[in-house]
Structure 1
């Protein structure tokens, strides 16, 4: 894949398996997790590229700690959280190559310009801007200037801020932008997903849209696909019981596989709004009811509901004409089992 310019337009959505911190600091587990994601049908695997020092300062004052009431990370120092969660940069090349060997797209969310430079050296084919970085115009500009497809999550972001970041991207000349509806809570409640916002983003900005889904299960993602999502991002882990910063809201491989299978079915089912007979429906159409002569009749005999009926298969006059035919005369002898034709009746 190298640095090729990929388009986010496929027959099915881009199913993105987010590795995040679920490697738990173990390189062998990271490789196992990537392999599991690929085996589950992921079409892209996403990493995060940062260090604790590029994210924050190693301070323990209240503003540098997660709120005590946070469901997953309450009371943790920001620095400690990122130190435990980051993906070591020396792992990236091997993990990218593991994806490429299986024809799966490897990419990452950079969190500063040094991360972009590093990912460029690896030939990253596209980029993701995380929800928490939507106000960092310098980072967004740097990524957009690569000219590669850019995905931006919109969690915890005001609409006016999305206006601004889209303008930043477009001023670079990069038009390959996908905006993901996202709820930045972990796990998120389905009622907070508001996936109808995809239409707002698509109409307002003329971009491709998708979903970064932190809810449990696959229902919200399937609904998003039905509404036109071109990309679905979900965190993946080996087992939720293994723990880790993101384990509680991550999918296990068999669940991700179900998402891919059902999501692909949902995407394929959208089809076209043009109404035409499907080839697969031809036999059903052939055996629809039509009017048949059900008793032997003679010329001059009256048409009644006893000698013609609407039965299966097709081939005869449509049943809707039956009331107009009752009481009229047969012009010729017709044996039972003959599809009725207007030429038989006066």
Structure 2
């Protein structure tokens, strides 16, 4: 798999994971808070901050009919239009949010949901895009987005393998090869039984694309585990405090938690390392504490070496344990003081 670039970062098999702080509704209607979130995300170690570009009108229809009501889950009892009214990030903020990200040294991108949002973000100069799980079957939209020839990170929550294949094909057929997929459970919050992190490797092998995790679960276990499964992008909802109520706060990560997650991800990447059977310098030091053959009693010259006067013990300065059968019942060439590591110069 060949990687692709997002600004100055390569997304590929041999590169560190790209970590996205998803702002979503966590600004809770305050532009000042949105700017604070950008700065806090940078401080917490995120590579990128993401917003969403929609309005209630571009997402749904203002109706009280039953089809527009949410009857279970985190947003139970909400009307779709009212929910999006609470959650959306005003478009007139987004230029300033992008400038704040650039000033803070963190990447900025967005999730558009239809053509007018794409056009707005193109005018804003956004360099890459996110496709939400809920948009993966909107093939006309994917075709329009792909033609902008910008990198696309696409979540796959709720999608069948066939639906993912259709979406990937539409993007590639429109001359856009800069695509990554995110494994995702589109439940808020997600639970471990629904995460199925094994899909990360399967998606990678099936589509030969970078794959990561859009993580709506509580805590950092899934995000860290996904790195061990080959994940190269992590997206996690980010807030200043879960006490600031908004539609996303309950499953978002606070700055200290996010910073710890980033540190654990980087440590996990170092621990995964490479396929390497050479002995490290620290391991070389430890090898001396392997077992070897020692005299454990005083042995006179000409005396037999027996299980009573020699043993396989730590440390490793004597003959290796695999020489035990060859040493046993041989005679000492000279007096051997107990506590002496055996070597061939001492044995007849």
On whether the aligned pair clears a TM of 0.5, the verdict is: yes
Provide the C-alpha distance between the structure 2 equivalents of 1:100 and 1:280, rounded to a whole number of angstroms. 42
Q: CA deviation at 1:213?
A: 1.1
Q: Which residue of 1 aligns with 2:320?
A: 318
Q: CA deviation at 1:58?
A: 2.6
5 Å matches for 1:107-256? 107-256=109-258
81, 103, 106: which is aligned to 2:105? 103
> Tell me, which stretches of 5 or more residues in structure 1 are unaligned?
none
Measured on the aligned residues, the alpha-carbon RMSD in Å equals 2.3
Q: Which residue of 2 aligns with 1:51?
A: 55
Larger mean Cα displacement after TM superposition, 213-222 or 294-303:
294-303
Q: State whether residues 6 and 151 of structure 2, in contact with CA within 8 Å, keep that contact through their aligned partners in structure 1.
A: no
C-alpha spacing 1:98/1:286, structure 2 compared with 1 (3 Å):
farther
1:16 aligns with 2:20: yes
What secondary structure does 2:234 align onto? strand
C-alpha spacing 1:298/1:257, structure 2 compared with 1 (3 Å):
same
Q: Which residue of 1 aligns with 2:268?
A: 266
What secondary structure does 1:151 align onto? strand
Provide the C-alpha distance between the structure 2 equivalents of 1:72 and 1:4, rounded to a whole number of angstroms. 35
Provide the C-alpha distance between the structure 1 equivalents of 2:247 and 2:284, rounded to a whole number of angstroms. 54
Provide the C-alpha distance between the structure 2 equivalents of 1:3 and 1:233, rounded to a whole number of angstroms. 15
Q: Report the count of equivalent residues.
A: 343
Q: Which residue of 2 aligns with 1:31?
A: 35
C-alpha spacing 1:61/1:5, structure 2 compared with 1 (3 Å):
farther
Provide the C-alpha distance between the structure 2 equivalents of 1:4 and 1:254, rounded to a whole number of angstroms. 26
Provide the C-alpha distance between the structure 2 equivalents of 1:335 and 1:345, rounded to a whole number of angstroms. 13
Provide the C-alpha distance between the structure 2 equivalents of 1:157 and 1:212, rounded to a whole number of angstroms. 14
Residues 136-179 of structure 1 deviation map (CA, whole Å, 9 limit, x = unaligned): 22322233233332111111222211110010111123222211
> Tell me, which stretches of 5 or more residues in structure 2 are unaligned?
none
Larger mean Cα displacement after TM superposition, 71-80 or 145-154:
71-80
Q: CA deviation at 1:261?
A: 1.6
Q: Which residue of 2 aligns with 1:40?
A: 44
Larger mean Cα displacement after TM superposition, 287-296 or 190-199:
287-296
Q: CA deviation at 1:258?
A: 2.0
What secondary structure does 2:45 align onto? coil
44, 62, 70: which is aligned to 2:66? 62
Q: CA deviation at 1:236?
A: 1.3
Q: State whether residues 137 and 167 of structure 2, in contact with CA within 8 Å, keep that contact through their aligned partners in structure 1.
A: yes
What secondary structure does 2:27 align onto? coil
Q: State whether residues 212 and 230 of structure 2, in contact with CA within 8 Å, keep that contact through their aligned partners in structure 1.
A: yes
Residues 27-79 of structure 1 deviation map (CA, whole Å, 9 limit, x = unaligned): 0111112222222211211110112222223333322x232x22332343322
Which contiguous aligned blocks of 4+ residues in structure 1 show a shift greater than 6 angstroms?
Answer: none
What secondary structure does 2:203 align onto? helix
What secondary structure does 1:28 align onto? helix
Q: State whether residues 242 and 252 of structure 2, in contact with CA within 8 Å, keep that contact through their aligned partners in structure 1.
A: yes
Q: Which residue of 1 aligns with 2:333?
A: 331
Q: State whether residues 42 and 105 of structure 2, in contact with CA within 8 Å, keep that contact through their aligned partners in structure 1.
A: no
268, 285, 288: which is aligned to 1:286? 288
TM-score (norm 1): 0.91
C-alpha spacing 1:156/1:66, structure 2 compared with 1 (3 Å):
farther
Provide the C-alpha distance between the structure 2 equivalents of 1:329 and 1:122, rounded to a whole number of angstroms. 87
Q: State whether residues 5 and 149 of structure 1, in contact with CA within 8 Å, keep that contact through their aligned partners in structure 2.
A: no
Q: State whether residues 6 and 126 of structure 1, in contact with CA within 8 Å, keep that contact through their aligned partners in structure 2.
A: no
Q: CA deviation at 1:132?
A: 0.6
Provide the C-alpha distance between the structure 2 equivalents of 1:266 and 1:66, rounded to a whole number of angstroms. 42
Q: CA deviation at 1:295?
A: 4.9
